[in-house]
A and B are shown apart, each in its own frame.
Chain A
């Protein structure tokens, strides 16, 4: 599973500008988290929740789209079913399904953003928005790096299990447990960080000249459609919030 800004372009049917994706992600997560789930708000919610599904489908990520569709349908159904009930178990249940149905669209939009954008495109788009290097570079590296850390952590976990260090192992000292997991990860971070720095030097990131890029970043017709749809959702949402239906 590749959950990072990819280095190579995959097969995509529809090209979207990273800025459109970013905008859509922010709007989707804001509406889903703060939105109403009754009355007209419910239909707006459905319309907005469809966005990640359709985008994932179009970008050729069928399995993720289906997983998302099933999870979101199930959790929002649950949320509506158990609404307005009391009792501890129900409250916990409600809290969980509410959390899932509210956060999931934002999470999957984020997944769509990073899985369908290359590093070069992302940087170029950020540069066009005149965002400082001091924000762009750490962010790009971070998104690129998170899967590496998860990977390293898995391997370290296995290595430690082999030596009997773990929750079920024969070393029960909690501080040692943390130490033997944490230090290798920090080591790996330092090492990979240095390697990335060297790679960046070769790519000439350090020069103070304007960067050129072979990525063609610009707004197309498909951007207009997505932007229009998201905007319509946002306007309806704002209207609905103000009137209180």
Chain B
């Protein structure tokens, strides 16, 4: 591994693309799988980071350079903002930058810092839910206009404003668990095989 330079090279960018694809596919698959059942749908911010943790840990291990996490967050943000929620991209970038600097504090070596970094990064998943606080009244109005007041009221009752903090808390914990799960898995499978 070329750990000499800290700048992203083309090789790193390609690995970034590959891992971003994996991250996005898993994200979409797991979310749509869990989304079928209302109870697990609420648990999405907690469960998804647990699955994605190993991917993130492997990715940061392969590309331990400044900018890698921000690029991943930009891609995740673009995917999550596809539903027309433009805050999601901004939110993802902010979260990604914070996660990047946490990883940087550990000099891109410290496993503990990577665990902390993923706990924060996991919050990118709640981007689409941000609508629940920022643009709720507008959103409900348009819902009432298209689908009738009954639908809007149901939606209103389902999403009290404080739920976003529950989601943030869930994804922080989920990220922490996921990162540790990933650390364990990678140690078990990849250290033995010599892929690092």
Contact = CB atoms under 8 A, between A and B. Distances in A.
A and B bound?
yes
Interface of A: 29-30, 33-34, 36-38, 83-88, 91, 94, 98, 103, 106, 133-135, 137-146, 148-150, 153, 175, 178-179, 182-183, 185-187, 189-190, 192-194, 196-197, 200-201, 205-206
B20 interface: yes
B10 A142 contact: no
3 nearest A-B residue pairs (beta carbon)? A141-B17, A86-B150, A193-B18
B4 interface: no
A181 to B, nearest CB: 9
B84 A134 contact: no
User: Which of A83, A85, A135, A186 is the most central at the interface, judged by chain B CB atoms within 10 Å of its CB?
Assistant: A186
Contacts of A182: 51, 54-55, 185
29 contacts: A29-B84, A30-B84, A83-B148, A84-B147, A86-B148, A86-B150, A87-B150, A91-B154, A94-B147, A103-B83, A133-B10, A135-B74, A137-B14, A139-B75, A140-B17, A141-B18, A149-B21, A175-B181, A178-B50, A185-B26, A186-B58, A189-B18, A189-B58, A190-B195, A193-B62, A196-B17, A196-B18, A206-B9, A206-B10
A142 B15 contact: no
Given A91-B154, A205-B10, A192 B18 contact: yes
Contacts of A178: 50-51
A185 to B, nearest CB: 7
A196 B15 CA distance: 8
A193 B14 contact: yes
Contacts of B16: 137-138, 141
B189 A183 contact: yes
Interface in B33-92: 50-51, 54-55, 58, 62, 67, 71, 74-75, 82-84
B58 A138 contact: no
B145 to A, nearest CB: 8
Given A87-B150, A135-B71, A145-B22, 14 more contacts: A33-B84, A36-B145, A83-B146, A88-B154, A133-B10, A134-B67, A135-B74, A141-B20, A142-B24, A145-B21, A189-B18, A189-B19, A193-B18, A206-B10
A189 B19 CA distance: 7
Contact of B11 (A88, A186, A201): A201
Given A193-B18, A196-B14, A183 B154 contact: no
